Copies of this chain bind each other. A is one copy, B any other.
Amino acid sequence: MDTLKNNWFTETCELWPGGTFSIEVKEVLHSEKSEYQDIHVLDTTSFGKVLVLDGIIQCTEKDEFSYQEMISFLPLCCHKNPEKVLIVGGGDGGVAREVAKHPLVKQIVQVEIDAKVIDVSKKYLPFMAVGFDSPKLTLHVGDGFEFMKNHSQEFDVIITDSSDPVGPAVSLFQENYFALMKSALKPNGIVCSQAGTVWNDLELVSNTLQICKNQFPSASYAYASVPTYPSGQIGFVLGSLDKDIVFDQPQLVFTAEDEKAMNLRYYSSDIHKAAFVLPTFVKHRLA
């Protein structure tokens, strides 16, 4: 890795110029160039195992739970009966792990384009790849676009767990992708996409939300704290075919016992409500 010097890996990206996060590496466990991207797995001194794709940190063992729980439970709990769920991307298995926990979910279909990410995760990141073991899951290796073209009005919830909108993932932030998701949803279906952070690129967040609003009668933005992502947080754009949905009011409210049974470490019904409360400068920009 050309960004690894003196045992420190440094993440740089055109999306957040002028500021970088570096992480101390004990050992590079895996390096390969797949058909789609550079894949690295690091063992680090303070963040456990770390998955890096094309030089960008995707998840660390220390804090991945906040992202995986929030991108999964925000849309699932906004839906009255999320029986059938499609995950696009999510090759590490973490989102599948969380979605499978929801008591109303009966069937999960996942489409990940890069089989190598799945293989690497199974070998080095079992705390996430455990998601692939769910009997609810059917895993396809392929293109989410192509998959959705052949599956109309089939899903209650579609979760897009993609990398950032530079390079191959750019298309997942564009209007035709949101239109395709809409066509793959059942009535009252919900989509949730990773959508950047308000501190580094409020313009991108605003654009993605607008694209979602163009396709869906209801749309909103929520965020979670993830210290190893740029600016320490990550946001999600949610769109619903239910024009009367109230995103910040979960349909299924979890008790403390539920949280414990599902091993939820970040998400709770109160966190669900708070995640949609935006700082004033964001509220005004997204209004």
Contacts and interface: CB of A to CB of B under 8 A. Distances in A.
B18 A46 contact: yes
Given A232-B225, A232-B232, A264-B280, A45 B18 contact: yes
Interface in A212-238: 225-233
Contacts of A270: 277
Interface stretch (A19-27, A83-91, A138-146): A19-27
Nearest to A228: B19
A194 interface: no
A62 to B, nearest CB: 8
Interface residues of A, number: 46
A268 interface: yes
Interface in A179-221: 197, 199-200
Contact of A273 (B66, B227, B277, B280): B277
Given A225-B225, A274-B277, A279-B266, A19 B18 contact: no
Contact of A233 (B46, B225, B265): B225
Contacts of A265: 279-281
20 contacts: A17-B24, A18-B46, A18-B47, A19-B21, A20-B21, A20-B22, A199-B227, A200-B227, A225-B231, A225-B233, A226-B232, A227-B230, A232-B233, A233-B233, A259-B280, A265-B279, A265-B281, A268-B283, A271-B279, A274-B277
